[in-house]
Amino acid sequence: MPDQSELDAARTFLDQYAAAVHVIVESVAASVVRVERRGGENRWRMGRARVGHGSGVVIDAAKGYILTSYHVVSGAPEADVQFASGQSVPGKRIAKDPDNDLGLVQIDPASLNLTAASLGDSSALRVGSVVIALGNPDGNRVVATAGIVSATGQSLRGPSGQMMDGLIQTDALFNPGMSGGPLINSRGQVVGLNTASLTEAQGINLAVASATIQKVLPDLTEYGAVRRPRLGISGERERLYEGLASHHQLSQEYGVYVHEVAENSPAAKAGIQSGDILIMVGGEAVTGLDALHRLLLNHKFGDELAIRLIRKLDIMQVTVKLTPME
């Protein structure tokens, strides 16, 4: 049995921890809002993600920008935004990034005393880092769950069908209505955005990392969407014939079979044809559409990529210049 001094020390520690969490939550609470979509249909359901409404966080007080999950505001251009004070204002979805399950809503900042949360550095998180998940599910209160980072660099297939990479896994539970709310660190900085809680796997709660948010935010605010380089093909993963792979001394088992090539796309201009099988892009093997998507995310418009492909029985190489789709 612990003696009285040990019990007192333990209680003091827990009291200090609780007080610290309360102070950190209060420092961000005014930035956490409820977001309710006006109409529309949500076709992406993951775990405890609730259709039609969720949470959000003010990231720019002067412009009235609120960051939330795309699946919260998908399918409708307008939303109602409610603060913990009870005040409710109309908002408009001005940007979307389904590939990362991010949406940007704007409200009129006039006559509103908005407080913006600051974005932190998610790359500084380590397994065991303390984090707090916030949300405003009912519109009149901010809820919080505390936990630790269980893993970083996780993946999940998002609303667009693409793999979302670099996600933060935490045991800080995302309760219903907390989708789109901020995941904050011990400094009260937003290091992630709550995106999914996997009900079939206890304790698996995933957040989009602030590193991803900071990377795409300039495009979201300027263009309303993320301008990602794309080849302009539709295709699928295909196993290479063993004899063909052996003949060409290929170590990979799969490539990307091209079904269609969009007219005037970078792929079309490079001479890629339906029936080709892409095996390498920019010196890296592509073994499926997810691998191709990840590879393209590391490049920007204007980059030129050497692409090796199989056409019938021969290997060819073409050069693709990444340009916006016409």
What are the catalytic residues?
71, 101, 179
CB 91 within 8 A of CB 106: yes
b/e code 86-96 from CB counts within 10 Å (16+ = b): eeeeebbbbbb
Indicate the pairing of strand 163-170 with strand 102-107: unpaired
Distances (CA, A) of 46 to 198, 199, 204, 256: 7, 8, 12, 28
Q: How many CB atoms lie within 10 A of CB 110?
A: 6
Residues contacting residue 201 through CB under 8 Å, at least 6 positions apart: none
Q: Is 83 helix (H, G, I), strand (E, B) or coil?
A: strand
Separation in Å, CA 68 to CA 65, 170, 314: 10, 18, 48
For 174, 257, 276, 305, the CA distances from 234, given in Å and listed in that order, are: 35, 9, 11, 18
Whether the CB-CB separation of 240 and 255 falls below 8 Å is answered with: yes
Quick check: 41 and 31 in contact, CB under 8 A? no
